[in-house]
Structure 1
Amino acid sequence: MKLYEHMETYLGLISRGWAEKNKKYGIQVVLFEQNPAEDLSTYCTLGLDKFVLDIGDGKKIRQELIFSTYKTYPPDEVASFLMTFAESVADSGKGLLRGEVIEGKPLIDGVEVTGMYASVPVFWPDELHEFEGSSPTTIFVWLLPILKSEAEVIREEGWNYFEHYLEEHSEADLWDLDRDAIPLR
């Protein structure tokens, strides 16, 4: 099975794709509509897995990134953000670890969220999480959009605290790039 077939098995058919213009990395972004819910779009990198990434202690993996948001956000801008983010991962040579926080500017123009939190893709089938048709295995990383205040709490309290809070308080709208900060304290 090829990687894109693995994705389509668990995310549905690819409805659209974007490729970088200069082809330096060969990373694409593909879109799965109405996933994981009818009003959401899921974007996934395709081609980041060509890069073997270091995750510490001599361990190597491959990764692809998943990002979901409401379908009302401009698909071209979301895809551009994700492709740029994936290129920065490829450049670094380091894989994203669960609980890692990456901060910067707003993900797309005019939104509140300025950071990403790396996690397990819990809203999708467990079988999606790993693709064993590559060596080393390709791991799918869910990028949750976060605000600056949330990033600060995660750094201070740890990723376990953040994920436990999300499990206990399901009212957080993780798909909204303009949401208010989650009251973590």
Structure 2
Amino acid sequence: MTFDLNRFRATLDAAHVRNDDPTTLVFDNYLRWKGVPAFLVRPVFKNDAPPAEVFVSPHFTVLVYRANPLYTTLCTLGASYRTIPFSRASFGDERGVRYEYIMHAAPSHEQQVAQLLALIAEYPFIHTIEIGPGYILPVGEPVVPGSSMEYLYFTYPYLDDGRLYESDPWGQIERPDLLIQMLWVLPIYRSEAQFIRTNGMEAFEQRLQERHSRIYDAYDMLRLPVVEHVP
């Protein structure tokens, strides 16, 4: 859907003042980082859930960017409504961490990926589980029709954010009262999931980046596996 930028921003500002909803901070960050989205996708959630079961912002949206003619970038807006379970302890920080999520897909897969992002946003709260960089989520079915990938891998968006490891990365919002980070969600094969568990994140990401620099297929839902078999 197309949208009125000023009206949309005013709605998010009001939610921030009224409910301390940080979605407007995330939207501002996306505007600085990636610009104005081409359009929005509004996945449908239960609208009669009690407050304790509202896992994402009431204004949850998927922002769609089409800067690349081959692959669309889809970003959640409003997934960081709540703190990730157990993250205060694992981060050693009373703020814990909140996440937004980024995926890439061919234009023909935009709708499926938008719905998948909506499910991902609620997943840690529905299952009371901590996710973060290195987490592998079994989907149980192809991520999109025709794909043989049935797992999702979470990592920092190192192919998107050239400032990721600098002092002020685009993929992070840090304030005294909250920490929001962006995670890249990458569909992977079972063999790749096994490789990550056996050899670690860095070994997999190095292989992925090496091939992506030659073939530019890390975002392709129909790509060949980086790892065929795990020794």
- Equivalent pairs, count: 183
Structure 2 residue matching 1:140: 3-state secondary structure: strand
In structure 2, the residue matched to 1:2 is: 25
Structure 1 residue matching 2:103: 3-state secondary structure: strand
Q: Which has the higher strand share?
A: 1
In structure 1, the residue matched to 2:115 is: 80
In structure 1, the residue matched to 2:79 is: 48
In structure 2, the residue matched to 1:38 is: 69
Q: 1:104-123 counterparts in 2 under 5 A? A: 104=139, 105-123=141-159
Give 1:32 deviation, angstroms. Answer: 2.6
TM-score, scaled to structure 2: 0.70
| Contact 1:32–1:43, Cα closer than 8 Å, also in 2 | yes
- Which of 174, 179, 182 is residue 226 of structure 2 equivalent to? 182
Work out the percentage of aligned pairs sharing the same amino acid.
Answer: 22
Greater RCO structure (CA 8 Å; 6+ sep): 1
Given residue 81 of structure 1, which amino acid in structure 2 is its aligned partner?
Answer: L
Q: Which moved more, 1:121-130 or 1:90-99?
A: 90-99
Give 1:94 deviation, angstroms. Answer: 4.1
In structure 2, the residue matched to 1:20 is: 44
Computed over aligned residues only, the root mean square deviation of the Cα atoms, in angstroms, reads: 2.3
Cα separation, partners in 2 of 1:112 and 1:160, compared to 1, 3 Å: same
Q: Which has the higher helix share?
A: 2
Structure 1 portions without partners, runs of 5+: none
Give 1:43 deviation, angstroms. Answer: 1.3
1:6-26 superposed Cα distances (whole Å, 9 cap, x missing partner): 112212212212132313434
Q: Which moved more, 1:17-26 or 1:146-155?
A: 17-26
Give 1:57 deviation, angstroms. Answer: 5.6
Structure 2 residue matching 1:167: 3-state secondary structure: helix
In structure 2, the residue matched to 1:128 is: 170
Q: Which of the two has higher C-alpha Rg?
A: 2
Could you tell me how far apart the structure 2 residues matched to 1:134 and 1:95 are? 22
Could you tell me how far apart the structure 1 residues matched to 2:29 and 2:61 are? 15
| Contact 1:13–1:32, Cα closer than 8 Å, also in 2 | no
